[in-house]
Amino acid sequence: MAGKVVAIDPGHNGANESHPEIINQMIDGGYGQRHVCNTTGTQTDAGYPEHEFAWNVATYLRPMLEAKGITVVMTRSNDSSVGPCTDKRAAIENNADADAVVSIHGDGAPSDVEGFYVLTATRPPAGATIAAASLRLASCIAAGVKGVGFPPSNTLGSGGLWKRDDLTGLNRSTRPKILIECGNMRNPTEAGLMSSDSGQRRYAQGLADGVFEFLRGGGSAS
């Protein structure tokens, strides 16, 4: 897999909450939509933040990919800054000519919701070939995360997959890209896993397995 480029986008950032004047600025969300630059993200009922979860999973995922000779591009370099805005993140990924992009998040749904879901763009901006690649990536990621023991959402999307048209990071991407809500941080069981080192490593392994399968040419568009 040497020569391949994968962009990892850990959602949100540690200082977002302290700088609403930055993250609440309006940006071009694609297809005529206007969205805020970024958000603070959610947290568990115990106060463990999504931005830290996403950063830790990304930190575990990166060396797993690099061990296979993959070049990894990160959309942020720490968990203590602000942003970047989601359109800037998409630009980083696009400019890197990434073969795959994985945006890592955690959900803040009602507590009875559990499981992951993988998002792709309803109206992909880069044409049918990239759209098909994004759907295949989503299929591979879903299989990888299921393979390490995490279930698809019992409520959101269908079989762990969901197309959306209201997310800047997907609307502005010209590369094969998915956004995964790894689990529900407001569900007590999943919150415990998502807050733990062992749980974060499992998520990273599932994502890595999905990326490897995609780069090998596996998965199916759906």
Does pLDDT of 88 surpass 70? yes
What percent of the chain stands above pLDDT 70?
Answer: 100
17 is catalytic: no
- What distances in angstroms separate CA 133 from CA 43, 151, 204, one per listed residue? 31, 23, 21
Please give the average per-residue pLDDT across 33-55, as a whole number: 98
Q: Active-site residue among 52, 181, 190, 213?
A: 181
Does pLDDT of 222 surpass 70? no
Q: Name residue 74's amino acid.
A: M
pLDDT digits (tens, 9 = 90+) for 131-158: 999 999 999 999 999 999 999 999 999 9
The residue extents of the domains of the chain are 5-215
Q: State the pLDDT at residue 221.
A: 80
Q: Which CATH number fits domain 5-215: 3.40.47.10, 3.40.630.40, 3.40.50.1370, 3.30.420.40?
A: 3.40.630.40
Using DSSP, state whether 88 is helix, strand or coil: helix
Using DSSP, state whether 55 is helix, strand or coil: helix
Asked whether the beta carbons of 79 and 14 are under 8 A apart, the reply is: yes
Tokens in use for 29? Answer: 């969300």
pTM for the full predicted model: 0.97
Tokens in use for 28? Answer: 């071009």
- What distances in angstroms separate CA 49 from CA 31, 127, 188, 200, one per listed residue? 30, 35, 14, 13
Q: How confident is the model at residue 129 (pLDDT cuts 50, 70, 90)?
A: very high
Q: What are phi and psi of 221, to 5 degrees?
A: -75, 140
Q: State the pLDDT at residue 218.
A: 87
What percent of the chain stands above pLDDT 90?
Answer: 95
- What distances in angstroms separate CA 201 from CA 58, 64, 100, one per listed residue? 9, 10, 20
Residue 104 burial class via C-beta count within 10 angstroms: exposed 0-12, middle 13-18, buried 19 and up? buried
Q: State the pLDDT at residue 219.
A: 86
Q: State the pLDDT at residue 126.
A: 86
